[in-house]
Chains A and B, each alone.
Chain A
Amino acid sequence: MTKSGFVERNLKILFPLPAVTFVVVMMLFPVVYTLFLSFTNWNLTSGMPLKFVWLKSYARVLTEPRFLSALGRTFSFTLLAVAVEILLGLALALLLNREFKGKSAMKLILLLPLVATPVAIGIVWNLFFDPTIGFMNYMLTILGLPTSEWVSNTETVIPSLALVDIWQWTPMITLIVLAGLAGLSQEPYESARVDGANAYQTFTQITLPMIAPTLLTAMILRSIDALKTFDIIYAMTGGGPGYASETLNVMAFKYSFEYFRMGQSSVILIFLFLLVLLLSMAIMRLRKRFEL
């Protein structure tokens, strides 16, 4: 039996093996370790040996007002950002879905926020939002509107951060919808024209149903990403003022690397993990259903 014969027969296992081993070691093992830690009260800096408290950490963390506010905040940030991104992204895609000079340049412009370093983007927006020297308040003044404190105020910080997210990610929805529209069959449009359908009817009865699976998948993917938003929030506000912009991700980060309460942070991590897993399963289901 030759060596290449062995490889050839077991290609199915040998080809993915290195990648799978890597993911198991780097992802699965840490998640199991986190699960283990979530049943303890371990604090990295206390010097005390870890003690099993089983579900006590869960009971404590999951009912803590700070956690519940972070959860609510995470959802309102995600909902606000994703809703605007989907509507605006769809509208822009419909506007741009034609041949015009400079279409390629326009696509490049839309790509820029997507590839720009989020931390740097956050800092640039901090300059924009600065209450005394920022460009945003300058614009409001020109328009004769009252100025805002943007990210420095507990009331406006979440909408302001959502605005940055909207600026950064709306272009992705536009590009996704444009790609989806480009792949649509032209036949239904021709028969609609023959039947004398107007633009609104064409949109609601042909375009929207055909683009719906793409839009739905994009929405879930974007929601998962928005739930996980970290760089921009951490760089712009660090979760402040106070806890006013502390989302689950930021809270977990602080619990882990500022307070070193590993047991409690594990509870948040497991919660976050399950939340994303649930959404991911939703997306798999959708893909199957629409045969994407």
Chain B
Amino acid sequence: MRVSFTRRFLFALVLAGVAIPVLFPFVWMLASSFKTQVDIIAWPPKFIFTPIVGNYVKVFTEQNFLQYFINSSIVGVIAVGLSVALGLPAAYSIARFQQKRLSVFILVAKLMPGISFLMPWYIIFSRLHLMDSYIALILSHMLIALPIVVWIMSSYFETIPIEMEESAMVDGATRQRAFWSIILPVSGPGIVTSITLSFIFSWNNFMFSQVLSMERTKTLPIAVYNFVSYAEVDWGAVMAAAVAIMTPAIILTMIFQKYVVKGLTMGAVKG
């Protein structure tokens, strides 16, 4: 009994040793978002303080934060939606007709440094007068989302037995029809995984929006970044902004935890 208790105690210590360093920056960020500037710059750091909500009020009233929130949502939702529309048929074709080269081609888009497309986009979008437009942002974010959708869905379609379409096709359905009415309805988990992951990556994207957007279409990561470019950093407001930007992604992760784990790890693990 004693041995088992000791072992369990040691294991609990291990768990705490993993969880605390991972969580601490989040806890500190959350705590600081409720602190006054005086409490934040106090030395030694304050663990006990009187919480205030002033930082959140400041972020949401003085800054155009709500507009940036809407911009991020518009760009994320449309880019992901279009990527799913383009990506599902492509992924199906890759899975069923074993188009390996095609899958590599689209995978390359996922691996390449974003900046190698961003510079030419900047020139082209400037010429087309599309700077600071939703169109430019959505197109750029689609290059984030589409490879994720294709990557996840092509492996997902491979796990669906081919007999499912074949039996429908024997009954006279075309393959196209089988795809829409037999395969897609059973692909829910894969689609949820790809939507969740690609939305989170679009939501977090900084580099593309930093270059392609200005005041009108500015997204949240840029707004958060701009907070610290002032001479003196208003730490409380920055932390409140950081909490606000991370909350949607974290809520999505909590709801779809299983899918997010699968989507993030499948790159290296078979299946």
A residues in contact (CB < 8 Å) with B: 4, 7-8, 11-12, 14-16, 18-20, 22-23, 26-27, 29-31, 33-34, 37, 44, 92, 95-96, 100, 102, 104, 106-121, 123-128, 132-133, 135, 138, 141, 167, 171-172, 175-176, 178-180, 183, 214-215, 217-218, 221, 224, 227-228, 230-231, 234-235, 249, 252-253, 256-257, 262, 265-266, 269-270, 272-273, 276-277, 279-280, 284, 292
Additional A-B contact list (7), CB under 8 Å, known A120-B245, A228-B113: A92-B18, A108-B257, A112-B250, A115-B249, A117-B245, A132-B43, A280-B108
Which of the residues A172, A180, A253 comes within 8 Å of B207, measured between beta carbons? A253
Report the Cα distance A218→B145, complex, angstroms: 21
Asked whether, in the complex, the Cβ of B146 is within 8 Å of the Cβ of A22, the reply is yes
Q: Which residues on B sit within 8 Å (CB–CB) of A118?
A: 204, 206
Could you say which residues of chain A place their CB within 8 Å of the CB of B195? Answer: none
* B156 CB-CB contact with A under 8 Å: no
Task: Give the distance in Å from the alpha carbon of A213 to the alpha carbon of B249 in the complex.
Answer: 31
Across-interface contacts of A133 in B (CB, < 8 A): 40-43, 45
Chain A contacts of B92 at CB under 8 A? 15
Chain B positions within 8 Å of A, measured between CB atoms, are 11, 14-15, 18-19, 21-23, 25-26, 28-29, 32, 40-45, 85-87, 89-90, 92-94, 97, 99, 102, 104-109, 111-124, 139-140, 142-143, 146, 150, 174-176, 200, 203-204, 206-207, 211, 220-221, 224-225, 227-228, 235, 238-239, 241-242, 245-246, 249-250, 252-254, 257, 260-262, 264-271
Which B residue sits closest to A218, measured CB to CB?
A: B268
A167 to B20 CA separation, bound complex (whole angstroms) = 12
Inter-chain contact B253/A112, CB cutoff 8 Å:
yes
Residues of A within 8 A of B257 (CB): 104, 107-108, 111
With a cutoff of 8 Å between Cβ atoms, the chain B residues found around residue A15 in the complex are 89-90, 92-93
Contact A256 B45 (CB under 8 A): no
Contacts of B14 in A (CB 8 A): 95
A23 near B146 with CB under 8 A, answer: yes
Of B26, B42, B113, B203, which one neighbours A273 at CB under 8 angstroms?
Answer: B113
Q: Which residues of B contact A117 (CB under 8 A)?
A: 203-204, 206, 220-221, 224, 242, 245-246, 249
Q: Which residues of B contact A128 (CB under 8 A)?
A: 25, 28
Please classify the interface of chain B as helix (H, G, I), strand (E, B), loop, or mixed, using the class held by over half of its residues: helix
Given the known A-B contacts A167-B25, A257-B211, are A269 and B253 also in contact in the complex, defined by CB atoms under 8 Å? no
For B139, give its contact among A26, A92, A277 (CB under 8 Å): A26
Distance (whole angstroms) from the CB of B11 to the closest CB of chain A: 7
Residues of A within 8 A of B44 (CB): 138, 141
CB distance from A288 to the nearest CB of B (A): 10
The reply to whether B111 and A224 form a contact with Cβ atoms under 8 Å apart is yes
How many whole Å from B72's CB to the nearest CB in chain A? 10
Bound Cα distance from A171 to B23, whole angstroms: 12
On whether A16 and B116 interact (CB within 8 A), knowing A117-B246, A127-B32, A277-B108, the answer reads no
B116 touches A4 (CB 8 A): no
Please state if A111 and B253 are interface contacts (CB–CB under 8 Å).
Answer: yes
- The listed residue (A115, A127, A230) touching B253 by CB distance below 8 A is A115
Given contacts A19-B86, A26-B143, contact A249 B40 (CB under 8 A): no
A30–B268 CB distance below 8 A: no
| CB nearest to A257 among chain B residues | B211
Assess the A292–B270 pair: CB atoms within 8 A.
yes
Given A31-B116, A92-B18, A111-B261 in contact, is the A20-B23 Cβ separation under 8 Å? Answer: no
Q: Are B242 and A120 touching (Cβ within 8 A)?
A: yes
With contact pairs A11-B176, A124-B239, A175-B264 given, residues A27 and B89 touching in the complex (Cβ less than 8 Å): no
Point out the residue from B41, B119, B253, B262 that lies within 8 Å of A265, measured CB to CB.
Answer: B119
